[in-house]
Structure 1
Amino acid sequence: MKLLERLQHEVLTADGAMGTLLYSSGIDFCYEELNVENPEIIEKIHLEYIRAGADIIQTNTYSANALKLARYGMENRVQELNKAAVRIAKKAAAPEQRFVLGTIGGIRGVGKSIASLSDIEAAVRQQAEAILSEDPDGLLFETYYDFEELTTVLTLIRQLTDLPIITQVSMHEPGILQNGQPLNRALGQLESLGADIVGVNCRLGPYHTIQAFEEVTLPEKAFLSAYPNASLLDVEDGRIVYESEADYFGQAAVHLRNEGVRLIGGCCGTTPKHIKAAKKALAGLPPITEKRVKAKKPIMIKESAPPSVPPLHEQVKKERTVIVELDTPKHLDTAAYIKGAKALQQTGMAAVTIADNSLASPRVSNLAMGSILKMKHQIRPLVHITCRDRNLIGLQSHLMGLHALGLHDVLAITGDPTKVGDFPGATSVYDVSSMELIQLIKQLNEGISFSGKPLKQKASFSVAAAFNPNVRVLDRAVKRLEKKIECGADYFITQPVFTKEKIIEVYEATKHLTTPIFLGIMPLTSSRNAEFLHHEVPGIKLSEETLARMKAYEHDKAAAALEGVKIAKELIDIAAELFNGIYIITPFLRYEMSIELIRYIEELDLKINERGITHVQTTLN
Structure 2
Amino acid sequence: MSDRKELLDRLLDPLQVVVFDGAMGTQLYAKGVFINQCYDELNLRAPDLIREVHRAYIKAGAEVIETNTFGASRAKLAQYGLEADVTKINLEAAKLAREVAEDDVLVAGAVGPLGIRLEPYGPTSLLEARQMFAEQMNGLKEGGADLFILETFADVHEIEQAILAAREIAPDFPIIAQMTIGSDCLTPYGLSPEDIAKTLDALGADIVGLNCSVGPQTILDAIEKMTPVTRRKLSAQPNAGMPREVSGRSMYMASPEYMATYAHHLVQAGVKLVGGCCGTTPEHIAAIVEGIRPLVPRQRKPVRDRRVHQAEIPEEPKGVAPVPFADRSKFSAKIARGDFVTSVEIVPPRGVDATRMLKDTAALKAAGVDAVNVPDGPRAQSRMGALLTSLLIEQRVGIETVTHYCCRDRNLLGMLSDLLGAAATGLHNILLITGDPPKMGPYPNATAVFDIDAIGLTNLVSNLNRGLDPGGNPIGAPTQFAIGVGVNPAAIDPANELSRFEWKVDAGAEYAITQPVFDAEQLERFLGTIDHTRIPIIAGIWPLVSLRNAEFLANEVPGVTVPQPIIERMRRASAKSKEAGVAEGIAIAKEMLERVRPLVQGVQVSAPFGKVELALEVFGDHIKSEATTQ
* TM-score, normalised by the number of residues in structure 1: 0.86
Aligned match of 1:345: 365
Is 1:147 the counterpart of 2:156 in the alignment? Answer: yes
Distance 1:504 1:37, change over 3 A: closer
Do the aligned partners of 1:550 and 1:563 also contact (CA within 8 Å) in 2? no
Aligned match of 2:64: 56
Do the aligned partners of 2:208 and 2:235 also contact (CA within 8 Å) in 1? yes
Which residue of the other structure, out of 191, 208, 223, is the alignment partner of 1:213? 223
Shift of 1:583: 1.5
SS in 1 for 2:287: helix
Q: Which whole-Å deviations, capped at 9, do the CAs of 1:420-461 have from their partners, x for residues lacking one?
A: 322233333333322223233334445554567664554333
Aligned match of 2:281: 271
Is 1:30 the counterpart of 2:38 in the alignment? Answer: yes
* TM-score, normalised by the number of residues in structure 2: 0.85
Do the aligned partners of 2:551 and 2:567 also contact (CA within 8 Å) in 1? no
Instruction: Report which stretch shifted further, 533-542 or 136-145.
Output: 533-542
Aligned match of 1:187: 197
Do the aligned partners of 1:175 and 1:184 also contact (CA within 8 Å) in 2? no
**Structure 1 vs Structure 2: percent identity of aligned residues?**
34
Aligned match of 1:596: 617
Structure 2: which amino acid aligns with 1:89?
A: A
SS in 2 for 1:346: helix
Shift of 1:477: 1.9
Q: Which whole-Å deviations, capped at 9, do the CAs of 1:292-323 have from their partners, x for residues lacking one?
A: xxxxxxx9999999997437556413222222
The count of corresponding residues between Structure 1 and Structure 2 is: 597
SS in 2 for 1:565: helix
Which residue of the other structure, out of 557, 563, 566, is the alignment partner of 1:542? 563
Instruction: Report which stretch shifted further, 81-90 or 189-198.
Output: 81-90
Cα RMSD for the two superposed structures:
3.3
Shift of 1:475: 4.2
Distance 1:506 1:260, change over 3 A: same
Distance 1:331 1:554, change over 3 A: farther
Which residue of the other structure, out of 91, 111, 136, is the alignment partner of 1:104? 111
Aligned match of 1:505: 525
Q: Aligned partners of 1:452 and 1:270: how far apart in 2?
A: 34
Structure 2: which amino acid aligns with 1:515?
A: I
Which residue of the other structure, out of 335, 350, 355, is the alignment partner of 1:316? 335
Q: Which whole-Å deviations, capped at 9, do the CAs of 1:66-91 have from their partners, x for residues lacking one?
A: 44334444444444433333343334
Is 1:131 the counterpart of 2:152 in the alignment? Answer: no
SS in 2 for 1:582: strand
Aligned match of 2:7: 2
Unaligned runs of 5+ in 2: 1-5, 302-316, 626-630
Instruction: Report which stretch shifted further, 271-280 or 192-201.
Output: 271-280
Q: Aligned partners of 1:334 and 1:490: how far apart in 2?
A: 31
Do the aligned partners of 1:300 and 1:456 also contact (CA within 8 Å) in 2? no
Q: Aligned partners of 1:221 and 1:322: how far apart in 2?
A: 61
SS in 1 for 2:534: coil
SS in 1 for 2:343: strand
Aligned match of 2:590: 569
Q: Aligned partners of 2:351 and 2:300: how far apart in 1?
A: 67
Aligned match of 1:521: 541
Aligned match of 1:249: 259
Do the aligned partners of 1:302 and 1:456 also contact (CA within 8 Å) in 2? no
Aligned match of 1:582: 603
Unaligned runs of 5+ in 1: 292-298, 605-621
Q: Aligned partners of 2:570 and 2:164: how far apart in 1?
A: 62
Distance 1:115 1:531, change over 3 A: closer
Which residue of the other structure, out of 28, 43, 49, is the alignment partner of 2:51? 43
SS in 1 for 2:201: helix
Shift of 1:115: 4.9
Shift of 1:232: 2.8
Aligned match of 2:442: 422
Aligned match of 2:457: 437
Q: Aligned partners of 1:275 and 1:591: how far apart in 2?
A: 70
Q: Aligned partners of 1:231 and 1:329: how far apart in 2?
A: 47
Distance 1:240 1:461, change over 3 A: farther
Do the aligned partners of 1:174 and 1:209 also contact (CA within 8 Å) in 2? no
Aligned match of 2:3: none
Instruction: Give runs of aligned pairs for residues 11-410 of structure 1, distance below 5 A.
Output: 11-28=17-34, 29-94=37-102, 97-110=104-117, 113=122, 115-159=124-168, 160-172=170-182, 174-218=184-228, 221-289=231-299, 309-310=328-329, 312-313=331-332, 315-318=334-337, 319-410=339-430
Q: Aligned partners of 2:570 and 2:612: how far apart in 1?
A: 22
Structure 1: which amino acid aligns with 2:276?
A: G
Do the aligned partners of 2:322 and 2:466 also contact (CA within 8 Å) in 1? no
Do the aligned partners of 2:342 and 2:623 also contact (CA within 8 Å) in 1? no
Do the aligned partners of 1:173 and 1:452 also contact (CA within 8 Å) in 2? no
Do the aligned partners of 2:75 and 2:115 also contact (CA within 8 Å) in 1? no
Structure 2: which amino acid aligns with 1:107?
A: L
Structure 1: which amino acid aligns with 2:110?
A: T
Q: Aligned partners of 1:454 and 1:289: how far apart in 2?
A: 38
